[in-house]
A = this chain, B = another copy of it.
């Protein structure tokens, strides 16, 4: 068995929304199909993947570097020990061959999107949902069919106003979301506080609000917001500063007592390494 093709299509997902850092007027994403020669129910098994909103489609990198490496590899080198399925770790290593360490940016989007599609194909070949397969391979064998979700929105949008924000958030709550999230940092602190308070008034017991600054703040601003946000029972305060500014995150944690969220803009294991204990031993 083998992967016979990797097909990418870059699609526009443009919108006139913006967060505190970027607008989405020219945003694109990549759709990827990993086509195998395995046939199930008379049809070829195809895994699908897509990349998250915000980092643009990466079709060129896929076509220039990652697709050719996978298709040029000897098929047997990409299979697991049974020989009946793909080994996603071997495909990942193949894609990352002849890539220098460090500088984890666009290529992690390209590789991650293909990786998602490979895992989808692997689960389809095993004829079980991916979450069950992952629980069996890496968990305790018991897949949990329930997962926490929340409604992320509350973007800045021309002419939206507090009414538009309340209308949007109400629509999420009415659909059953118990946690809603809104953007902050794209307006003044006073204006953002008014936006937050207008949404908090909509919440019933058991419903909560999270806020997301998308990395916009420097340390003084992050702390000013942290102090102001401390007045509210927020679900979390997300990505106050630059995702690589660990000092800002640590200092903010000293003054903001609620939950902090960050990490979605770290793209390598190295970037997410915990502070080593020996640093503190001296």
Q: Which residues of A contact B (CB under 8 A)?
A: 21-26, 54-56, 59-61, 64-65, 97-108, 214-215, 242-245, 247, 251, 265-268, 270-271, 273, 276, 278-280, 282
Residues of B within 8 A of A24 (CB): 98
7 more CB-based (< 8 A) A-B contacts, given A55-B100, A103-B105, A247-B279: A22-B98, A60-B61, A100-B265, A101-B215, A103-B104, A244-B268, A244-B271
User: Would B56 and A65 count as touching, CB distance under 8 A?
Assistant: yes
Residues of B within 8 A of A105 (CB): 103-108, 267
User: Would B100 and A54 count as touching, CB distance under 8 A?
Assistant: yes
Residues of B within 8 A of A23 (CB): 98
A74, chain B: closest CB distance, angstroms: 16
> How distant is the Cα of A26 from the Cα of B67 in the complex, in angstroms?
14
28 A–B contacts from the bound complex (CB under 8 Å): A21-B101, A22-B97, A22-B98, A23-B98, A24-B98, A25-B98, A54-B100, A55-B103, A59-B60, A60-B61, A100-B214, A100-B265, A101-B215, A101-B242, A101-B243, A101-B244, A102-B215, A102-B243, A102-B265, A103-B104, A103-B105, A104-B105, A106-B106, A106-B107, A242-B270, A244-B273, A245-B273, A247-B278
Residues of B within 8 A of A251 (CB): 278
> How distant is the Cα of A226 from the Cα of B242 in the complex, in angstroms?
34
A136, chain B: closest CB distance, angstroms: 30
Q: Of B102, B215, B271, B273, which contacts A247 at CB under 8 A?
A: B273
User: Would B61 and A106 count as touching, CB distance under 8 A?
Assistant: yes
A14, chain B: closest CB distance, angstroms: 11
Q: Which residue of B lies closest to A279 (CB)?
A: B279
Provided the pairs A60-B64, A61-B60 are in contact, do residues A102 and B242 lie with their beta carbons within 8 angstroms? Answer: yes
Residues of B within 8 A of A59 (CB): 60
Residues of B within 8 A of A271 (CB): 244
Q: Which residue of B lies closest to A239 (CB)?
A: B101
